[in-house]
Amino acid sequence: MPVTIPAHLLPADGRFGSGPSKVRPGQVDALVAAGARVLGTSHRQPPVKDLVRRVRRGLAELFALPDGYEVVLGNGGSTAFWEVAAACLVRHRAQHAVFGEFGGKFAAATARAPFLAAPQVLAAEPGSVALLEASPAGDDAVDLHATPHNETSTGAMITPVRAPGSAERGALTVVDATSGAGALPVDLAETDVYYFAPQKAFAADGGLWLAIVSPAAVARAAEVEAGAAAEGRWVPEFLSFTTAVENARADQTLNTPAVATLVMLADQVEWLLEQGGLEWAAARSAESAAALYGWAQAREWATPFVADPSHRSTVVGTIDLDEAIDAGAVIAALRDHGVLDVFPYRKLGRNQLRVGMFPAVEPDDVRALTACVDHVVAQLA
């Protein structure tokens, strides 16, 4: 018999994806309002440049940028930024904290670059975290430390993010904040590059990368790019960090961006600021997370996947279900009722629910989701 969930249990909005994630109705209204004025017009003219300026200014305010830091953007999403960093930010050797798929993908990118030494990989089992370490000395020295802020594939987060000691010797700290930015507290002075994409906490569509960069990061890229030719190192224009910085300063991107994404992103940044900024956003995600993990801990058949409570992500919650319960059947029953995208990360292969709890998601909807899971599990039994 198919499982049915009574309407009164359902969340008001059933989107719990970990990226793409829920887009607020207000962002869609902003899109409609942008209509003929901005959509379908040149990205080199004032209306679209104004949008980019709103995004850059809004992010500068949201993150209270330290002196000299700036907001840079380009096309291709966070995945493209890994290649930008490999091409322009790593001088010789990178260090990667790897505790899930996304951290691993960046490590694979620098490992493949023929002009770089093999990266130092600090690995930890999925569900735990690996922390950056001060660089070894000598030939093995690393000049760039890379870590995810929030590992979206496992639901493990690092707070606070800290630069390891070797930053004093000029190494950069580069943080993949794709799913953490805008929903987790951060001290940007500990980072040189804090990069992300719009389809997670910023509730827009994918396709862009954004990065908050320090003067040291800008100087590193200038040095690497200037010396590249002499070293036989190729920096494609599309991957040039310096070119992206120059374009961002003029409120544009190297090539055509998706204007609709910029509209939704600008609206979300301003909405977050109106609600109370980063502190508000972080508290709201933390409220959702407390509801989710508290619920799981009160069930014999559900367990937070991340063992250490201080590393349990407040933006992407992962809950293992007892093997007697088929998580796939639970997820399918939820989907039939419009409760969407709570599947685990594909390659993790666990009997698990994964719940996006970005600031756009109402904490009450997370509570409603848990009630729906209770109901489905009881019916399946």
Ligand X SMILES: *Cc1c(COP(=O)(O)O)cnc(C)c1O
Displacement of CA 128 from its chain's centroid (Å): 18
Rounded Cα distance between 339 and 319, Å, is 16
Per CB under 6 A, the list member of 16, 69, 99, 102 interacting with ligand X is 102
Of 106 and 295, the one with the shorter C-beta distance to ligand X is: 106
Taking the complex as a whole, the smallest distance from the CB of residue 310 to ligand X amounts, in Å, to: 19
Taking the complex as a whole, the smallest distance from the CB of residue 12 to ligand X amounts, in Å, to: 25
Taking the complex as a whole, the smallest distance from the CB of residue 197 to ligand X amounts, in Å, to: 4
Query: What single DSSP character describes residue 277?
Result: H
Residue 375 CB-half CA count within 13 A: 18
List beta partners, residue 111: none
Q: Restricting to residues 250-309, which ones interact with ligand X according to CB under 6 A?
A: none
Q: Where are the beta strands (DSSP E) in 138-257?
A: 144-148, 150-151, 156-157, 172-176, 193-196, 208-213
Rounded Cα distance between 361 and 13, Å, is 8
Size of the site for ligand X (CB under 6 A): 13
| Chain position whose Cβ is nearest to ligand X | 77
Per CB under 6 A, the list member of 110, 120, 135, 152 interacting with ligand X is 152
Of 353 and 372, the one with the shorter C-beta distance to ligand X is: 353
Of 55 and 372, the one with the shorter C-beta distance to ligand X is: 55
Per CB under 6 A, the list member of 148, 164, 182, 344 interacting with ligand X is 148
Assess 356 for contact with ligand X (CB under 6 A): no
Count of CB atoms situated within 10 Å of the CB of 4:
12
Of 95 and 199, the one with the shorter C-beta distance to ligand X is: 199
Residue bearing tokens 């008001």: 12
Taking the complex as a whole, the smallest distance from the CB of residue 179 to ligand X amounts, in Å, to: 4
Q: Restricting to residues 7-36, which ones interact with ligand X according to CB under 6 A?
A: 19
List beta partners, residue 96: 121, 146
Residue pair 350/370 in contact by the 8 Å Cβ criterion: no
Query: What single DSSP character describes residue 183?
Result: T
Beta carbons within 8 Å of 182's beta carbon, 6+ residues apart: 62, 196, 200, 201, 202, 268, 269, 272, 278, 281, 358, 359
Per CB under 6 A, the list member of 206, 257, 344, 356 interacting with ligand X is 206
Site track for ligand X across 160-199, x = CB under 6 A: ----------------x-xx-----------------x--
Rounded Cα distance between 18 and 347, Å, is 15
Burial of 71 per CB tally in 10 Å (0-12, 13-18, 19+): buried
Name the strand (E) or helix (H) holding 96: strand 94-98
Query: What single DSSP character describes residue 20?
Result: S
Instruction: Select from 5, 18, 7, 9 the least CA-distant residue to 361.
Output: 18
Of 135 and 154, the one with the shorter C-beta distance to ligand X is: 154
Of 135 and 288, the one with the shorter C-beta distance to ligand X is: 288
Rounded Cα distance between 74 and 252, Å, is 9
Taking the complex as a whole, the smallest distance from the CB of residue 201 to ligand X amounts, in Å, to: 10
In DSSP notation, 357-368 reads: --TTS-HHHHHH
If DSSP codes are grouped into helix, strand and coil, which group holds residue 283?
helix
Of 264 and 373, the one with the shorter C-beta distance to ligand X is: 264
Taking the complex as a whole, the smallest distance from the CB of residue 298 to ligand X amounts, in Å, to: 28
Name the strand (E) or helix (H) holding 120: strand 120-123
Taking the complex as a whole, the smallest distance from the CB of residue 151 to ligand X amounts, in Å, to: 6
Of 103 and 164, the one with the shorter C-beta distance to ligand X is: 103
Of 179 and 370, the one with the shorter C-beta distance to ligand X is: 179
Of 204 and 376, the one with the shorter C-beta distance to ligand X is: 204
Taking the complex as a whole, the smallest distance from the CB of residue 174 to ligand X amounts, in Å, to: 12
Q: Restricting to residues 58-77, which ones interact with ligand X according to CB under 6 A?
A: 77
Per CB under 6 A, the list member of 78, 135, 147, 318 interacting with ligand X is 78
Which residues are near ligand X by CB under 6 A? 19, 77-79, 102, 148, 152, 176, 178-179, 197, 200, 206
